[in-house]
Amino acid sequence: APVPVIAVFPRRVDLGQIIRTREEGSRCGLVTVTNVGGKRAQVAAEVAAGNGTPAWLRCDPKSSFALEPQERREVFLYPGEVESANSGELSATVRFSCNNGSEYGLPVPEVAVAALVVEPARLEWVDGPAEGLDFGTPVQGKVCTATIMARRTPGNNLPTIISEYGVCDEDGNLHVPPPWVEISEPTPRRMDLLVKLTLHTANLPVGPIKEVIEFREDDPAVEPLKLLVSADVQSAPDIETTPESVKVQGSIGQTVPVIVKLWNTGVGSLPVKVTASVSWISIPDDCHDLQLGSKPTSVELLIAVPENGSPPRGVVMVTPVSQPRLLSLAIPVEAEALCPKLHIDKAAIQKGDGKSRQWEVPLENVGNADLTLEVRDCPPWLHVRPRGVLTVGPGDKELLVLSDRRRSKDAPTSCLLKLKTNQSGNETVSIPVSLPPVPERRPVNWRMPLLIVAGLMVAAFGFQYFRKGTIPAVTETKHDRTPEDGESSRQRETAEDTRAQDVDALLTQGLELKKKGSLNEAERKLRAVLQLDDKSVPAHYALAWTYVALKQKQMAIEHFRRVVELSPTPDETKAVEAKEALTRLGSL
């Protein structure tokens, strides 16, 4: 017949199982459409889903196509959108109609299509929250564990086998998990697997952490399990203190209070115990057991300065009670006793020559506190400068100037000079002084001075005679010998002693003012000393250093030169130091 006739084979197609979201769009069924008529046919495929399900089946080609007589063509049937379809059996009908068919209405062939929609096989976390495994807010140093159960769904009565796990990169490759999470070997439990995860927070920074761990099955078709492991790590308890060490000074037996502040840099409250390693550190009873928080807690330490024989160092231990893994805090404590110590270098005593009859005794304070000295039981014929109480700072040096005031050859040649100090256990220091014998005085020959006086008087009378023409009356004056009698000698000695005492007093005042920093007043006192005794080496020496401090270079050079000139020997301590000062000042 000169009309198109459509034949379809087969009339029923079963697409089998369709895995949701995985096999959508894959070609599954094939139908052969043939034009058995005698005229060209224009064929169109129409799909109708059964049982009220959404359109889930698609054809290829989608549009109508032409078939010449006796021509055949393959039409592919494949599942389309099955995401919204329920799991189970699906049905659809494909009708192949011809628009230019016979007017007598030849039957339209239909193909019945069936399929079974199933869920994809995957690994899932049984009875676990969808957002992942959250370890909460562990404190640094805490070890947290959790157990998960992995299951293959649908199981199909097959055991779950995890072949590998780790952190997946962008290319889909697995890497070893981070060191802070430890994953145990999966343990079979019937058809499931138990996996134990351990979180180590000891080396983790404070703050949130997260990592996705992926578990894969032996079958690559099974979707892997992606587990988000997260935690918010809190700061571990730790002890801080201020100050970090304690050092006190005081006299032996003195109790020095010191405040130490302790606090916990971590989260929460930390119970600690405070103890001392030595007996001379006392801790109040209410401070032995403390609860440290974020705010500082004050602890008062009572430190009794020990004797020199006791160990000067101790330790205050702050030991955590509830955190045995947390190290204890040690606060070093050092107590130093303030003790002045006098050192006299007898080999460095500078002896004067026969004219000056002076000795210099160097004194040095080798202790760590101010040393006070006062001369006691000094014989009247030995003059000591400076007088009064002398203060020598730690590491400083001073000079005692001894002047020999003996007059009689029978005077003693030795004595014991006693110094009263503030040294503990050695309050009195004795310095043996040995002096050479007093040289015998030669008798004064008054004959020659009397003859000279008489000649001068005769010359004066002669001058008046030639001038006036008359010779004045000459009254003979009998000149007796005028040696110094005992009374005038004692008066002169008393005046010299008074003058020396004034010099010593002014010198001591000047030195004290210089040490205090009152340079202008010290200058006036020292210049007053030089007005009474221009040859005082200590006064020139102190005044030179005063001018150095006042930045009066020329005046300092002048007095340093006087020190060098007036020193009995060039090796004397002050002379050597004066030469060194002149060298530094550029005038030597």
Residue 531 lies in a domain: yes
Residue 482 lies in a domain: no
* Element containing residue 405 per DSSP (H, E): none
The verdict on 183 and 226 lying in the same domain is yes
The verdict on 532 and 383 lying in the same domain is yes
| 336: CB partners within 8 A, 6+ apart | 247, 248, 249, 305, 312, 368
Residue 467 lies in a domain: no
Between the alpha carbon of residue 330 and those of residues 66, 276, 327, 550, the distances in Å are: 97, 10, 9, 50
The verdict on 400 and 498 lying in the same domain is yes
Q: Is the dihedral of CA 83, 85, 91, 96 positive or negative?
A: negative
Residues 143 and 43 sit within 8 Å (Cβ to Cβ): no
Q: Please report, for the domain that includes residue 398, its CATH number.
A: 2.60.40.10
Pairing mode of beta strands 371-376, 414-421: antiparallel
Residues 568 and 352 sit within 8 Å (Cβ to Cβ): yes
Q: What is the 3-state secondary structure (H, E, C) of 439-498?
A: CCCCCCCCHHHHHHHHHHHHHHHHHHHHHHCCCCCCCCCCCCCCCCCHHHHHHHHHHHHH
Q: How far is CA 511 from the centre of its chain?
A: 43
> Residue written as tokens 């006796």?
70
pLDDT at 471: 47
Residues 237 and 323 sit within 8 Å (Cβ to Cβ): yes
**Boundary (domain end) residue, out of 337, 362, 394:** 337
The verdict on 299 and 405 lying in the same domain is no
Cβ neighbours of 399 (radius 10 Å)? 18
The verdict on 253 and 219 lying in the same domain is no
**Boundary (domain end) residue, out of 118, 148, 165:** 118
Amino acid letter for position 56: W
Residue 440 lies in a domain: no
> Residue written as tokens 């003979």?
476
Residue 210 lies in a domain: yes
Between the alpha carbon of residue 389 and those of residues 309, 321, 397, 518, the distances in Å are: 30, 57, 15, 19
Residues 239 and 316 sit within 8 Å (Cβ to Cβ): no
Residue 422 tokens read as 């503030």
Residue 446 lies in a domain: no
Q: pLDDT in tens for each of the 588 residues of the chain?
A: 578 888 898 889 888 877 766 555 555 788 999 988 888 888 888 888 876 666 778 888 888 888 888 899 998 888 877 666 666 788 888 888 887 665 545 678 888 888 877 777 777 777 776 668 888 888 877 888 888 888 777 655 667 777 788 888 888 788 888 888 888 888 877 777 788 889 888 778 888 988 888 888 777 777 788 888 899 988 877 888 888 899 888 877 788 899 999 988 877 788 888 988 888 888 888 877 888 888 898 888 888 888 766 667 889 988 888 766 667 888 999 888 888 888 887 665 545 444 556 777 888 888 878 888 888 777 777 778 777 788 888 888 888 888 877 777 677 777 777 888 887 777 788 877 777 776 666 555 556 667 777 777 877 777 666 665 544 444 444 444 444 444 555 556 566 667 777 788 888 888 888 888 888 888 888 888 888 888 888 899 999 999 988 888 888 899 989 888 888 777 778 888 888 888 888 765
Burial class (CB in 10 A: 0-12, 13-18, 19+), 502: middle
Distance CA 180, CA 169 (A): 18
> Residue written as tokens 């005081």?
250
Give ∠ CA 279-423-433 in degrees, rounded to 5: 155
The verdict on 275 and 349 lying in the same domain is no
Distance CA 580, CA 574 (A): 10
Amino acid letter for position 308: N
How many residues comprise the chain? 588
Distance CA 226, CA 213 (A): 6
Amino acid letter for position 179: P
Residue 346 lies in a domain: yes
The verdict on 112 and 127 lying in the same domain is no
Residue 369 lies in a domain: yes
The verdict on 136 and 195 lying in the same domain is yes
The verdict on 131 and 184 lying in the same domain is yes
Residue 582 tokens read as 């002149």
Residues 126 and 192 sit within 8 Å (Cβ to Cβ): yes
Distance CA 164, CA 398 (A): 87
Give ∠ CA 548-553-559 in degrees, rounded to 5: 75
The verdict on 142 and 222 lying in the same domain is yes
| 59: CB partners within 8 A, 6+ apart | 45, 47, 75, 76, 77, 94
| 283: CB partners within 8 A, 6+ apart | 274, 275, 276, 299, 301, 302, 316
**Boundary (domain end) residue, out of 294, 315, 337:** 337
Give the residue among 411, 397, 398, 401 at the shortest CA–CA distance from 359. 401
The verdict on 197 and 296 lying in the same domain is no
Distance CA 326, CA 320 (A): 7
pLDDT at 482: 47
Residue 147 tokens read as 């157990």
- Give the total number of structural domains in the chain: 4
Residues 533 and 514 sit within 8 Å (Cβ to Cβ): no
Distance CA 183, CA 227 (A): 12
The verdict on 196 and 108 lying in the same domain is no
* Element containing residue 233 per DSSP (H, E): strand 225-233
Quote helix, strand, coil % in the chain, to nearest 5: 20, 40, 40
Say whether the peptide bond before residue 154 is cis (omega within 30 degrees of 0): yes
In which domain, by residue range, is 55 found?
A: 6-118
Residue 163 tokens read as 């072949």
Distance CA 122, CA 482 (A): 141
